[in-house]
A and B are shown apart, each in its own frame.
Chain A
């Protein structure tokens, strides 16, 4: 079975600070990895994804994530956050042999103070 762990439940930052959200997964085979964002009152939106190739993935809105296979990690980063980045961020895994069901982490609520 696949599982996803997000280390921080809540993060509070000031604008222009750097953000890093941790994500570790458990799955014995090849995985596809995703970060989704959910702005207040809105639906899930895809930030970025990793299927194969370069382990450093760039997404929308200045976000990037690095897949480290040896650590089973897919951490999300943004060098300088804005107030509009206030949202909940979800890491998700799709084990390729497990069908296309996404397993989500518990989410990290990020609050950026202006």
Chain B
């Protein structure tokens, strides 16, 4: 158990819908990262937050957005969902930038 928690574990929804994935970092970690793991794209970095501020963006679609709240938990919002958004979404956290990232159990999203 890494100490990073993610909810929900599984999510099944329909195309066109919107979902919110939640992540709580390890105690004391200020930085949160979101990754997408899919069969065709592998593990891809989406976005990073540090102490509430966006610090880096990767291959994140415009339909996706995220934020980190004052209590340091983070949410990833996915809207206008498409079949291709079906994937495992991981959250990771680290104490500071350039420190080791510890991963949560992931949220498995299935878009039907």
Q: Mark A84-111, 1 if CB is under 8 A from B, else 0.
A: 0000001000101001111111110000
State the A residues within 8 Å of B (CB).
32, 34, 36, 42-46, 49, 90, 94, 96, 99-107
Instruction: Give CA–CA (A45, B92) in the complex, Å.
Output: 11
Chain B residues engaging chain A, CB cutoff 8 angstroms:
2, 31, 33, 35, 42-45, 48, 55-56, 58, 90, 92, 94, 97-106
Whether the pair B42, A45 counts as a contact (CB closer than 8 A) is no
B32 to chain A, nearest CB (A): 11
- The binding surface of chain B is classed by DSSP as strand
Q: What total count of A-B pairs have CB within 8 Å?
A: 53
Q: Are B104 and A101 in contact (CB under 8 A)?
A: no
Instruction: Indicate the member of B31, B43, B56, B100 with the most A CB atoms within 10 Å.
Output: B43
Q: Are the C-beta atoms of B105 and A43 separated by less than 8 Å?
A: yes
Asked whether A106 and B42 contact (CB < 8 A) given A99-B55, A101-B56, the answer is yes
Complex: how many Å from CA A45 to CA B102? Answer: 7
Given known A42-B105, A43-B2, contact A103–B42 (CB-CB < 8 A)? no
The 8 closest A-B pairs by CB, nearest first: A104-B43, A44-B103, A99-B56, A101-B45, A43-B105, A100-B97, A43-B103, A101-B56
